[in-house]
């Protein structure tokens, strides 16, 4: 009989290390950043697909102390990048779909072929949601909604603070991963809603105006399990100029 390749002591050590790795991974499931395909082109996967990762409109540390630098780096460069890559991979064999905007894909997600439906829903939603999300925040954000949106919020919810109360509650009570939104319905009404995973309000015919990502990857490094702290601090960085202008143009588009 051949000698054992590893001693019992080594085997136990290896087993313990493996267990420890699994334990960490299952404790922070969302920290398992999806692997992006290598950028060297060797993978042969949709590396230059029709969808591209937008540049972050500010530096990684711009939203400190509300959103920490490392979270911004991982969130944009890894998570959002992976949504884009997986979306490109999903539509690689569907040239008609590859020509559409991500909003069009989400608007008509029910008509996406079954084999790629889930991939387009998850990764297309991830791409659409995050592309908006970066713009909805700003270093010079905070304060209150502007002009027409301010009036519409008062009319729909009674006051800005009533809006804030409902938006906070909605974001707090999303079970698991998802988003809370201020949306504009096709009837031009303001609505606070939540979506699961990477579903977009666009899928229901609504236009997202403001959204908060409440996936743990958006806040866990800084706030750990305290989602409420993350939501409270988010109000300091809302880019109301962007959101208010988006309301104005979308509202007029629907006239």
Q: How many CB atoms lie within 10 A of CB 207?
A: 22
Work out how close the CB of 57 gets to Mn ion at its nearest, in angstroms, rounded to a whole number.
Answer: 16
Instruction: Tell me which residue has its CB nearest to Mn ion.
Output: 213
Work out how close the CB of 145 gets to Mn ion at its nearest, in angstroms, rounded to a whole number.
Answer: 23
Assess whether the previous peptide bond of 192 is cis (omega < 30° from 0).
no
* The 178-184 sheet, strands edge to edge: 190-196, 178-184, 207-213
Closest C-alpha among 145, 218, 209, 219 to residue 183:
209
Altogether, the residues listed in the chain come to a count of: 255
Work out how close the CB of 80 gets to Mn ion at its nearest, in angstroms, rounded to a whole number.
Answer: 7
Work out how close the CB of 27 gets to Mn ion at its nearest, in angstroms, rounded to a whole number.
Answer: 19
Work out how close the CB of 108 gets to Mn ion at its nearest, in angstroms, rounded to a whole number.
Answer: 23
Angle at which helix 125-135 crosses helix 81-91, to 10 degrees, equals 140
Q: How many CB atoms lie within 10 A of CB 23?
A: 9
The backbone torsions φ and ψ at residue 98, rounded to the nearest 5 degrees and listed phi first, read -65, -20
Which residues in this chain contact Mn ion in the complex, by CB under 5 A? 213, 215
**Between residues 78 and 248, which has the closer beta carbon with respect to Mn ion?**
78
Burial class (CB in 10 A: 0-12, 13-18, 19+), 58: middle
Alpha carbon distance 142, 28 (integer Å): 30
**Bridge-partner residues for 186, per DSSP?**
none
Work out how close the CB of 197 gets to Mn ion at its nearest, in angstroms, rounded to a whole number.
Answer: 11
**Between residues 28 and 93, which has the closer beta carbon with respect to Mn ion?**
28
**Between residues 82 and 91, which has the closer beta carbon with respect to Mn ion?**
82
**Between residues 199 and 213, which has the closer beta carbon with respect to Mn ion?**
213
**Between residues 109 and 128, which has the closer beta carbon with respect to Mn ion?**
128
**Between residues 215 and 230, which has the closer beta carbon with respect to Mn ion?**
215
């Amino acid at each position: 009989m051949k000698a054992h390749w590893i001693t019992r002591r080594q085997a136990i050590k290896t087993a313990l290390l493996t267990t420890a790795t699994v334990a960490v991974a299952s404790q922070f499931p969302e920290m398992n950043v999806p692997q992006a395909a290598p950028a060297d082109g060797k993978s042969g996967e949709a590396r230059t697909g029709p969808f591209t990762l937008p540049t972050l409109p500010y530096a990684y540390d711009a939203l400190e102390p509300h959103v920490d630098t490392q979270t911004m780096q991982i969130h944009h460069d890894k998570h959002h990048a992976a949504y884009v890559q997986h979306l490109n991979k999903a539509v690689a064999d569907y040239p008609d779909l590859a020509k559409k905007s991500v909003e069009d894909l989400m608007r008509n997600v029910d008509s996406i072929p079954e084999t790629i439906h889930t991939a387009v829903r998850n990764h297309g939603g991830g791409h659409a949601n995050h592309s908006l999300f970066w713009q909805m925040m700003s270093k010079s954000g905070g304060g209150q909604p502007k002009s027409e949106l301010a009036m519409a919020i008062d009319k729909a919810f009674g006051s800005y603070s009533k809006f804030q109360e409902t938006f906070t509650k909605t974001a707090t009570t999303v079970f698991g991963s998802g988003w809370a939104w201020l949306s504009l319905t096709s009837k031009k009404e303001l609505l606070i809603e939540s979506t699961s995973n990477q579903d977009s309000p666009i899928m229901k015919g609504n236009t997202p105006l403001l959204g908060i990502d409440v996936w743990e990857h958006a806040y866990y490094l800084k706030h750990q399990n305290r989602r409420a702290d993350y939501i409270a601090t988010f109000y300091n960085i809302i880019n109301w100029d962007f959101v208010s202008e988006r309301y104005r143009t979308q509202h007029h588009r629907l006239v």
